[in-house]
Amino acid sequence: MLLTSCDNLLDKIIPSKKDKRDKTLAFFGDSLTIGTGGSRPMGAWVGDVFTERPVFSDGINGQVALSIAIRQGGVPLTLSVAGGKFNGAKPVAVTKINNEFLSTPLNGNVYSRTGTLAGVRCTITRKFVPDLGDHYTVEPLAQSDTAASTETPVDVEIPDDSVFELDDAVKMRTATQILWYGRNDIGQGKPQEGILSAIKSSVDYIAEPRRYLVLGVLPAITESKGSAGYAKLTAFNDELALLYRDKYVPMTPPTESEMNDIGFTPTAGDLEDIQKGIFPSRMRPANKSDEIHLNDSGYRIIANRVAQKIRDLKY
């Protein structure tokens, strides 16, 4: 009884240490990150496990690792504009950009991000113009909701190759980050060094003490054992595993235990796919022309692996 009383007294004198770390789970990647082929972003499945934690998801279909790393903040975004300065509060055309980080060959969607350019808060927007291609503009943000007009003059020079600091990138530096890069680089035959460099830059950008996971490249349904694609991809994933060790999340086929956890009963055909080293076809989209993505069952397998790593690493 005396020991219990002393323990309670100590708890009052020395309160338990609260975890003050940023609880956000930030997912950066391409179409796999946003859950193409399924019903929701992959991060949403992870969020179901950690219901008390905010989830941020930033993915664009068809993008390569460098563009993702720019959105994440690991590689600086630099640009030049027509006239070399802001034109009041009107949009100004971007005449040079080190990477079309909001572009994709797969759609003409309008994408925008907020940030700071030459000390001015503004928005950068990508629009696709038929027959002309992508068009980028930057536009100052209204200084306040009570401003008399959004046309308040902004007469600030923008030197060539100025850095545009992205708000989301800065805000997410302290988050636990889940990086899923490289599927489109591999598919387009781009040098693997570019993927490794993009991942390293992104990891280096994360605030200390860094909390992050690096996901392997998911094999396409055609990249089964014995194919040149499987050999190339497996060698690359092995390199990622060696570099990032316990922070690496593999893209190996689901195990029996993993399938049981989500209530998935494999057919003979599924087991045959698994023996080939790939996610089974029933964990892929119904649209069989899509050889890359997963459906909800497949994304749940990946999400559970990510969630387990977050627990194991005490993120």
Task: Answer yes or no: is 227 within a domain.
Answer: yes
- Which whole number is the average pLDDT over 80-92? 96
Tally the domains of the chain: 1
State the CATH number of the domain containing residue 92.
3.40.50.1110
- pTM (predicted TM-score): 0.91
Residue 209: cis peptide before it, omega within 30 degrees of 0: yes
Nearest to 136 by CA among 70, 181, 73, 74: 70
Average pLDDT of the chain to the nearest whole number = 93
Torsion of CA 70, 179, 115, 118, to 10 degrees: -40
- pLDDT value of residue 2: 43
Determine, yes or no, domain membership for 52.
Answer: yes
Range of the domain at 265: 21-312
CB 79 within 8 A of CB 37: no
Look at residue 274 and tell me if it is in a domain.
yes
Res 155: pLDDT: 82
Residue 299 covered by a domain: yes
Domain assignment present for residue 3? The answer is no
- Taking CA 114 as the corner, what is the angle to CA 108 and CA 119, rounded to the nearest 5 degrees? 135
Is position 14 within any domain?
A: no
pLDDT at 311: 99
The token pair that represents 244 in the structure block: 């990032």
117-140 confidence digits (pLDDT tens): 999 999 999 999 998 999 999 999
- Tell me whether residue 4 is in a domain: no
Per-residue pLDDT for 3 more than 60?
no
200-253 per-position pLDDT tens digit: 999 999 999 999 999 999 999 999 999 999 999 999 999 999 999 999 999 999
193 in any annotated domain: yes
